[in-house]
């Protein structure tokens, strides 16, 4: 995947309660990081998933593909990089990467496929696409 597709960076650091028994960040926690970055990205575009929810539109993840390459440890600072493209008529895909600048390493790469639901039916994610500039 072309690096140029990441258009939003969010810098975070590991919190000790996110570590598991092995002293590394638990896999499920990375999904939280990725979700948080997507929400911040969307907010940076003037949208808000919570507000959309109250207006009857829910963006839902329908598929995730994650390649875990290295682990984050206590105190690590990292950056979640996010890009987005249209995947099909009803789906968009967020390309995400978590990198650790300290040793210039890639922690994981993810492809998160999302659909837009309105009144229990999938609808074209037009409002998202428009704001993101994909329409």
Q: Would you please indicate which residues are annotated as catalytic (active-site) residues?
A: 20
Q: Around Cβ 107, how many Cβ atoms within 10 Å?
A: 21
Q: How far apart are CA 134 and CA 59, in angstroms?
A: 16
Compare residues 22 and 88 and give the one whose CB is closer to a second copy.
22
Helix/strand/coil for 135: coil
Among 32, 55, 85, 130, binds a second copy (CB under 8 A): 32
Strand partners, 109: 67, 97
- Give the footprint of a second copy on residues 39-58 (CB under 8 A): 39, 43, 48-50, 53, 58
| Interacting residues with a second copy (CB under 8 A) | 15-17, 19-23, 26-29, 31-32, 35-36, 39, 43, 48-50, 53, 58, 60-69, 71, 74-75
């Amino acid at each position: 995947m072309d690096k140029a597709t990441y258009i939003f960076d969010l810098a975070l650091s590991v919190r000790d309660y996110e570590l598991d028994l092995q002293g590394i960040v638990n896999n499920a926690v990375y999904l939280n990081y990725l979700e948080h970055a997507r929400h911040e990205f969307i907010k940076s575009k003037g949208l808000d998933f919570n507000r959309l929810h109250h207006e009857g539109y829910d963006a839902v993840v329908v598929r995730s593909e994650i390649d875990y390459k290295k682990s984050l440890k206590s105190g690590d600072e990292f950056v979640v990089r996010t890009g987005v493209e249209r995947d099909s008529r009803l789906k968009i895909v967020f390309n995400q990467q978590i990198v650790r600048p300290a040793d210039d390493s890639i922690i994981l790469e993810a492809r998160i496929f999302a659909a837009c639901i309105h009144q229990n039916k999938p609808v074209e994610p037009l409002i998202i696409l428009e704001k993101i500039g994909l329409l």
